[in-house]
Amino acid sequence: MRFNISVIIISLSLLSASDHLAGFQILNFKEFEHHLHQYNDTTYIINFWATWCLPCRKELPDLERINTEYRDQKVKVLLVNLDFPDQLSKSLVPFVQQNNIQSEIIVLDDPDSNFWINRVDSSWNGNIPATLVYNQHYREFFPELLNYGLLDSILKLNTIKQ
C-alpha cells in the first residue's frame, strides 16, 4: 500500500524550521530544496519516507546497505522524513534508535505539500516511498518502493568514478 502525503500533511507545523530534535535537522521546503540540486561529483539518493508507511520501512534496510557499501565512494543517502511534527519524539526517534539507522535524516516540516511535491519532481503525485537519484549526468525519480539490487545497478551505471 502506498500513501499520499498531500492528504496526510494537513496540520500546521508545531516545530519551527530551525529546531532540532535528537540531532535531526527540521527544515521547511525552502531550506531543504538545495538538496535536490547539488551538481558536483557526488551521486545523491534522496528518499522520502515516514515511520508509519510500511513500504517505506521495508525499503530502509536496502537504503542503509547502500549507504554502508558506498560509504567510501561519492554517494550520499539522505532520508527525508515526513512524519507528523507532533509525533517525532514518539515515532521517529525510537524508530531510528531501534533500527540503528546511520544514513543522514532530515525532517521535512512543510505542510504545503501541494507546492513542494511538484518541485521535487513534476510527475510525483505525493505517494511514498519515493526516491530521487541524481548526479551531474543522471537524474531519475522513482515514486515506488526500491530494492538493493535496483539501487546498486543504478549506482554502478551512473556513479562518477574518482
The residue ranges of every structural domain in the chain are 3-158
Which runs of E-coded beta strand occur in 2-54?
A: 3-4, 20-21, 24-27, 43-49
Where is 131: in which H helix or E strand? strand 130-134
d(CA 56, CA 143): 11
Which candidate, 155, 109, 113, places its Cα nearest to that of 13?
109
pLDDT in tens, 16-66: 333 445 578 999 999 999 999 999 999 999 999 999 999 999 999 999 999
Residue 152, SS3 per DSSP: helix
Where is 30: in which H helix or E strand? helix 29-32
Fold annotation for 3-158:
Glutaredoxin (3.40.30)
The half-sphere exposure of 148 on its side-chain side, counting CA atoms within 13 A, is: 11
5-9, 24-28, 47-51, 120-124: segment of lowest average pLDDT? 5-9
Question: pLDDT band for position 86 (50/70/90)?
Answer: confident
